[in-house]
Amino acid sequence: MAKILCVLYADPEGGYPDTYARDGLPHLDHYPGGQTLPTPGGVDFTPGALLGSVSGELGLRGFLEAQGHTLVVTSDKDGPDSVFERELADADVVISQPFWPAYLTAERIARAPKLKLAVTAGIGSDHVDLDAAIQYGVTVAEVTYCNSISVSEHVVMMILSLVRNYLPSHRIVLDGGWNIADAVSRSYDLEGMHVGTVAAGRIGLAVLRRLAPFDVHLHYTDRHRLPREVEEELNLTFHESAEDMVPVCDVVTVNAPLHPETEGLFGDRLLSTMKRGAYLINTARARICDEDAIVRALESGRLAGYAGDVWFPQPAPPDHPWRSMPHHGMTPHISGSSLSAQTRYAAGTREILESWFGGTDIRDEYLIVDGGKLAGAGAHAYSTNT
């Protein structure tokens, strides 16, 4: 029987909810492009419940314990005295969400001799040292597509809120004020702007599709070019590299995975080629941007705004410079953890575990590392240092 160690974010400060703002979730048949939603044998939770926090347990306890497995759930994940560090020593499976990542470093993987499976309940497995997973034969899987649309909606929201100066204007209302000039002196229309995405995978393409009706000029760069009919439908301009694309853009959104090719991409050099007053939205991974270079670009006016929900480390310390830099619209890491998304990635995590314990293949589109190499979706979107 296996021990499953599940790291989830803490419950709400007011306690685990017993009611919700809405009574259910819309029914979705499939993802854009036809991929099916998760297909576990069953689920033990109510769709729309808070599943990603400790008491939600991703709805897994009944299923796992019925099979004789042990489930340990904790939010205590960092430092040598953490529950995660202690329980990892004899864990067979680790489950973690990017929003509250249990960093599976090479050292931790080396100290977990029984570890065979790391599941990302979400998308983006960069909190796992993939080279070490390859070396130690750990399978890494994530719930591909589960929150891609959730993130794309967040990106569109953040683009509009920066360009239109929404958050400072809302602050004026909260503070009892009414100075229109204060609100509008940084407010523009998105219409007519040039908007580019670094990567046009599931999220990037969904952002492009959602922005097309705003009558903007759309640009993208990616390692693989989109089909010609998609380029024509959305009137996309393709660029060979981020370096080629960003100088022509008023708004840039980052939707690539963090891997050796993208780490530190937005540093002083690339930022200096952006238009003065450009906006940068990064909901992909924080370390694609140089933390201090972003602050400098906002202070100098090179960037008119920066927004996103990804930080390093997570949780961000109270004195993280991105909390206090000017003209930012940061949120905690939430875009992919709406109640809607949680329902999908909890079901997808269960599907992966059913396959694993049932001895059947995990869907290829869920695999990142398997059999000692990048596999499935991971082979397509990631690179390693080796």
Query: Which residues contact ligand NDP by CB under 6 A?
Result: 122-124, 147-148, 151, 198-204, 221-224, 255-258, 261-262, 283-285, 309-310, 333, 335-336, 377, 380-381
Which one of 97, 165, 255, 314 is the catalytic residue?
Answer: 314
- Other Cβ atoms less than 10 A from the Cβ of 173: the count is 10
Q: Quote the least distance from Cβ 258 to ligand NDP, whole Å.
A: 6
Is residue 268 classed as helix, strand or coil in its secondary structure? helix
CB 59, CB 350: distance < 8 Å: yes
Which one of 333, 344, 350, 363 is the catalytic residue?
Answer: 333
- Other Cβ atoms less than 10 A from the Cβ of 19: the count is 5
Q: At what angle do helices 166-174 and 148-163 cross, to 10 degrees?
A: 70
Q: Which lies closer to ligand NDP via its Cβ, residue 194 or residue 285?
A: 285
List the alpha helices (DSSP H) in the chain. Answer: 61-66, 83-88, 106-110, 130-136, 148-163, 166-174, 180-184, 202-211, 228-234, 242-245, 268-272, 291-300, 321-324, 339-358, 376-381
For the question of residue 235 being annotated catalytic, the response is: no
Residue closest to ligand NDP (Cβ): 201
For the question of residue 147 being annotated catalytic, the response is: yes
Q: Which lies closer to ligand NDP via its Cβ, residue 256 or residue 293?
A: 256
Q: Which lies closer to ligand NDP via its Cβ, residue 355 or residue 383?
A: 383
Q: Quote the least distance from Cβ 147 to ligand NDP, whole Å.
A: 5
Q: Which lies closer to ligand NDP via its Cβ, residue 52 or residue 59?
A: 52
Q: Quote the least distance from Cβ 237 to ligand NDP, whole Å.
A: 15
Q: Which lies closer to ligand NDP via its Cβ, residue 69 or residue 259?
A: 259
| CA–CA dist 114, 99 (Å, integer) | 25
For the question of residue 333 being annotated catalytic, the response is: yes
Q: Which lies closer to ligand NDP via its Cβ, residue 148 or residue 169?
A: 148
Which one of 127, 259, 285, 363 is the catalytic residue?
Answer: 285
Q: Quote the least distance from Cβ 340 to ligand NDP, whole Å.
A: 13
Give, in order, the Cα–Cα distances in Å from 175 to each of 104, 170, 171, 172, 186: 43, 9, 6, 5, 18
Which one of 147, 255, 282, 342 is the catalytic residue?
Answer: 147
Q: Can you tell me which residue has the tokens 């993802």?
A: 31
Q: What angle do CA 252, 258, 260 make, to 5 degrees?
A: 115
Which residues are CB-contacts of 247 (< 8 A; sequence separation ≥ 6)?
273, 274, 275
| CA–CA dist 45, 59 (Å, integer) | 5
For the question of residue 282 being annotated catalytic, the response is: no
- Other Cβ atoms less than 10 A from the Cβ of 386: the count is 8
Q: Quote the least distance from Cβ 198 to ligand NDP, whole Å.
A: 6
Q: Quote the least distance from Cβ 379 to ligand NDP, whole Å.
A: 9
Kindly list the catalytic residues. Answer: 147, 285, 314, 333
